[in-house]
Amino acid sequence: MSAIDSLFARLRRTGQKALIPFVTAGDPDLDFTAAVLRRLVAEGASLCEVGMPYSDPIADGPVIQASYTRALERGLKVADVLGMLATVAPELKAPLVTMVSYAIVYRHGLQQYVEAARRAGVSGLIVPDLPVEESGPLAQLCRSADLSLIQLVTPTTPDERAKRIAERSSGFLYYVSVAGITGERATLPPELVDNVARLRRYTDLPICIGFGISRPEHVRLLAPVADGLIVGSAIVRRVAQAAERPPAEVLDQIAQFVRQLLSAMPQRH
């Protein structure tokens, strides 16, 4: 059982849901990324998603794209990110997953990347641009390394394809709340709850919802039907202020935001 499997088994036993914050590695620098991860877990994040900056992200909105650009302009390398994660992962009481383009994994070599991620203490990979038809080799390598390969289902994914994606995924299934790009939204689609309920017919995997979640009312709406909620742009936007403001002040603001979201989560049974 992977670290992510163990996490969701424990959460299900206690009736809790996972808050999964996303941060961009290296924005504004890797030391601050490590500090954010420590603070997020200390505040109660169940799992953290770390974005590997990439020059051509396929679904990220302007806030996350800008953070990737800033990190890449400073010369950030994948090896630097994995080195930081190797240092911070043993300190955290929560698994780490990387959001990484398949182009990066392929360029490094599938086996080499999986082994490097495992050595760095990573528990899973989210590979948003990997089609399910081509995911077999990476899925096999991840299974052998006891890493989860988390794949995405969108509102426009046909039912039969969603079923295949669920069968090839491990750890949890990432449900994209909207047809579009990442970013904070005032409201979420009214059909979202029904879409997640339909997806549960195809899988026993935990289902975590991402894209657009940024307010306590979103958490109250979605926590009853989801196993976890992924919050990205709202955190990345706050992190972006770290270059101009005292880091401790930015960390406190992020912590306050996370506490607001957690306060809207179901309480432990």
Model confidence over 79-132: pLDDT tens digits? 999 999 999 999 999 999 999 999 999 999 999 999 999 999 999 999 999 999
Span 224-240, average pLDDT: 91
d(CA 171, CA 49): 13
Residues 6+ apart with CB under 8 A from 238: 250, 253, 254, 257
- Listing DSSP states for 117-148 in one string gives HHHTT--EEE-TT--GGG-HHHHHHHHHTT-E
The catalytic position among 29, 60, 184, 227 is: 60
Q: Is 146 a catalytic residue?
A: no
Strand bridging mode 228-231 / 207-210: parallel
Catalytic residue, from 5, 43, 49, 227: name it: 49
- Taking Cα atoms as reference points, which of 215, 249, 252, 214 lies closest to residue 233? 214
Specify the residue for token string 């039912």. 159
Q: Which of 172, 167, 184 is nearest to 3 (CA)?
A: 172
Contact 63, 182 (CB under 8 A): yes
Please say whether the dihedral angle defined by the alpha carbons of residues 142, 104, 78 and 88, taken in this order, is positive or negative.
negative
Q: Establish whether 60 is a catalytic residue.
A: yes
Mean pLDDT score of the chain, rounded to an integer? 90
What is the average per-residue pLDDT within 195-202?
87
pLDDT, position 181: 44
Predicted confidence at residue 183, as pLDDT, reads: 43
Q: What is the pLDDT of residue 99?
A: 95
Compute the distance between CA of residue 183 and CA of residue 66 in angstroms, rounded to an integer: 12
201-221 residue pLDDT tens: 889 999 999 877 888 988 988
Which CATH architecture group holds 3-262?
Answer: Alpha-Beta Barrel (3.20)
**Cα separation of the two ends of the chain:** 24
Does 28 sit behind a cis peptide bond, omega within 30 degrees of 0 on the bond before it?
yes
Supply 66's token pair: 């800008």
